[in-house]
Structure 1
Amino acid sequence: MEKSKPPSITISRTNWTSHVLLGISVCLLALACMSVIQKSSSLAGLWLPTALMIPVLFRHRYRDWLPLLCASALGIAAAHSVLGTPFLRYLPYLLNNLFEAAFCAALLRRLLPEQDPLTGLGYWVRFLMVAVIFCPLVSSLIMMLFILHIQSPVELQSRFATWFMSEAVAILALTPLGLVYQRGYFRKNLTSGRFFGLLLTLIITLAAGFLALKWLPYTFAFITIPLLWCAIRLPRIEAFIIFLCMTLMIALLHTSGIVSVQPHTVVQIPQGLIFLPLLLILTPANAMAMAMHALRAEKSHITQSENRFRNAMEYSAIGMALVSPQGRLLQVNKSLCNLLGYEAEYLTTLTFQEITYQEDLGKDLAMLEQLLNDEIQTYTMEKRYLCRNGEVIWALLAVSLVRDEEHNPLYFISQIEDINELKHTEMTNKRLSEALHEEKELMHITLNSINEAVISTDRNMNITFMNPVAEKMTGWTEEQAQGQPVNRIVLISKGQDGPLIDNLLHFDINENLHSSVERSLVLHGHHTGLFDVQLAVSPLRTLKDEPIGIVLVLQDVSRSRELMRRLSYSASHDLLTGLSNRGSFESSLKKALNLIATARQSHCLAFIDLDHFKAINDTAGHAAGDELLRQISTLMQEHMRNSDRLARLGGDEFALILFDCPVEQGLNTLSKLVSEINQFEFIWEDKIYRIGASAGLTKMNDPTVSGSEYMAQADKACYTAKNNGRGRVFRYEPQQKTATVHTEGSIFPPEKT
């Protein structure tokens, strides 16, 4: 998988210019290499195109590889075309080169870091095993498969060695330079003086190599000396440049016949392995260059660390000192001198024991002893120091110990931070905190003693405090409620079945002062039932008037509200039957008149008078009469709609409003009520009593007619029914101002509006 973070010089988008340059470079290298091979066909030439493609692919994303490989293929094909090589003859070798470059680059991306692939000797060894040995071997084996059927075993062996050596030496000479090179390196690092030094070193090294090749025995052994000298003396990338130049010079000199690289041995080395010694001398030279690079990097890191520590100590805002194991101040910074009022030269003549307040010295020495015994790695303590002017100041001391390679103590690093003002502020805050604690305890005792529930929240409306009364009413303990949203713990609705108040912060206490009992505030406790409450909300604010929470005060008014409900019920209901009384019925009558005017509804108003009630009341007693009234009230309610309103006006007289009801339907309903009453059998003390009812009905459809007028019309119709045989229903006729009888199945004239 391609790594998510590309290197700094990775091309982020397709750059066709780089593709063209790669194709041209590969073409020129291939042309040069093939020219050398054609001039000396028995010589293992250097094949540089593959060595160039590997670092280029390594530094590009996988999705850019295809155009890069195509550019390289075109470059190699162009070189073959210039030399007149048939297409089918070089095609297998071309494909093998492309495969080797891609395969090697993919493996190196897995094994090497992207930013600096050869950052250490270990990574260089990975490169050597993969790029110089493994991939050329695989490529050589693939090449053998192409020519297996046309070459003899001896020739196959020679071709295998030739291919492997040409790839391995070229990769070791060129690829490391491509991997470590960074764009702008020469412009940034090679000043005129450095460039002249590199050029001089290159000339000396190549001259020494030429002399060794021309006149010295054991040629490659002597060539190793200037290469190692370059590896030790030069930076890594410049050493790789010289290694490449030395390799190219040896190949060109041997190809031109000026020198021979055949070692002076009894056994003649096969032509295919003629550059094996060159591979062997390049390997230690590269390894030495990598080792020196790691050494320089470590030395640079140490130098940077020392400079950082020196600057951090010298320019630190807090006092710092290096102290010997015996307590002598070895080095101090300006901040410590300013803190204590001493000059640096004078301080270095003292010990830390001499400037430490005597009462704090014992603890300091004890901690120091633990540090020396390796029982602790560092310690921090607050201690007092003696200033030059005699003042005693507080400081925060942090001490660590530096040891040498044999674990012997070298010196202590002491950091002394001025906390004098902080300590004085801390003492003042401690006194204030004690006073605040006393006030807080007094407040808690007061809040726990009152009978109201008190709940406070933070700026996020999460509960911070609840007194015992609040715990009892809400059903939550303070521990359970702390940190919870107040709307989750305190559930208050407008009326028992009304909507919950979702934002207590914006609750207006005046909103519910004149609400009815049914719309008053109700607290829904957690498994503790319902509480009628009076709520007060007070916001908490800072001195800058910024909100920091609220305080809720809940007063349980359940008893007073229950008493109000009873009084309200008594004022609007008949205590004997539970029906509405005359006052409540008149309110319902006003509501009906309002609906006539606003919604254009028509209603029916009826009066019902019980027949023979007085006889039963006188015969069986008032208790029987009361029970009869209750049963008759229940009977009538069972045959009414929920929207209708039945009231007892007094004695045995009842009134009924049938809301939004046509006269026909009203007369039928009233007739059924009268019929049910006429058929009702009242049993009292094992005796059966029968009773009847007379009823009168009037239509309500004119908003200009008053309620008392409609009542008079219904009363007149009922009076007519009672005087015409009882047990009947009469309807009031507005035009004739008389009442007409209604019987089941009778035909009524059309309603007149």
Structure 2
Amino acid sequence: MTRPSSHAHWSKELLGVQSAIATTSGDIDQVMDLIVEGALRVIPHAGGALVEMRDANEGEYRAGSGMAAPFIGLRESFAGTLFEQCVLTGRPQYCPDTQDDPHVDAAACRAVGIAAILLAPIAYEGAVIGALKLYGPRTAAFDEQDLLIAQLLAGLITTGLARMERRDAHSQLDRMATRFKATFDQAAVGIAHVAPDGDFLLVNDRFCGIVGHSREALIHGGFQQITHADDLDSDLDNVHRLVTGEIVSYVMEKRYVRADRQIVWVNLTVSLVRDALGVPEFFVAVIEDITRRKTAEERALHDPLTGLPNRRWLTEHFGSLFGAMPGESVIAYLDLDGFKAVNDRFGHAEGDRCLSDVATCLERVLRDRDSICRIAGDEFVILMPDTDHETALQLISAFRDAVRTLCRERPWKIGISTGAVAIDAQQFASLEDVLEAADRQMYRAKKEPGIAPIICNIRDVLAGRQGGHGPGPLRSEPARV
């Protein structure tokens, strides 16, 4: 488009604005007024100029000229606006057509005759705190030269901020500190500032209450010391990714260990504050106590009577437990023999005690890496990762012995029938296939009392299906005790 002003013209006008600002003694409101008034002289094809400053999540219109003058003093949320984009990115924003931009209120612009908008960020002490806005009465009103001029004018506001009187600066900093302190101290969530080495710099009362440690103890330690050992590696990995710039923030659910050794679950959100040179300065960590939700989730995955994991837990964890297991593993299906008689003779309350006692005695036999689930009334599944046939048979025999010993101390007599299936990573099967095969083995053992446990291989089961044999007798390896 044809330029309405020459380089000499706008340079002269810009120098005039600078000279006028030099006489203000740092009065920032007067500086802003001079900027918006001078902007229309430097860029005469602009219909209005406005200074919008950020205050929390709102924008305040501090100075305006031309068609923007009536907006002075207004405040509004800047969520989803061009101003938000300017603040978040630190870059200029340009809307050549206000009727075709999702970040602009088309109806409001149409009502006041604003057809184009140009924003130049106002930076101060490493942060974008506002923007100089230029309004055009027609679409595509601004070009790259206008952008350069707008940035120069915005820079004059930054200069004016830097030259504010010390008294006014201290007053503003005091107000900001008061707001920060109120937000920090009265927040409903835990907030902490953490040094790059993991030491706590600041923590609010809510943070101390959630993690169960005093402020003094936290300041003299680091987040590593209160993080649950099972969560530390993933937390440190996220910190590394944050410091290297791979991510800008992260969210994770983790556990802290309170001073009384109780475990608290939190939802943790972490971001990194860098200095003007991009060097990590401190982390901002925000935590919410989710222990109640995690407890409810845990209850949903566990049998309320025995406390054992239930079928839902087995379904959710089966793949992760065995999918990447390099060696052979064994899954055993256990069914109690004579349990119905316990209910019939002694009542359901005693039947419940029977199930709970059996679960406890089976758990005592398990190794650390094994798991046991109650998946139905008197049916249990035992998971034995990285276990060969011989070891699995020894464990199954130990289960039987443990139940026999238990029965000597109880008024009822029960036994267990067991079916077992071996799986490996080379021939990994679904949980449904494994349970079906183990269940059929278990019923075979129940029909033939006294038969020694037999472990079938899931590869034989699947091969039998592919060969068209269907659900016929399982091919088993004669591993017996």
> Could you tell me the TM-score, scaled by structure 2's length?
0.50
Greater helix content: 1
TM-score by length of structure 1 reads 0.34
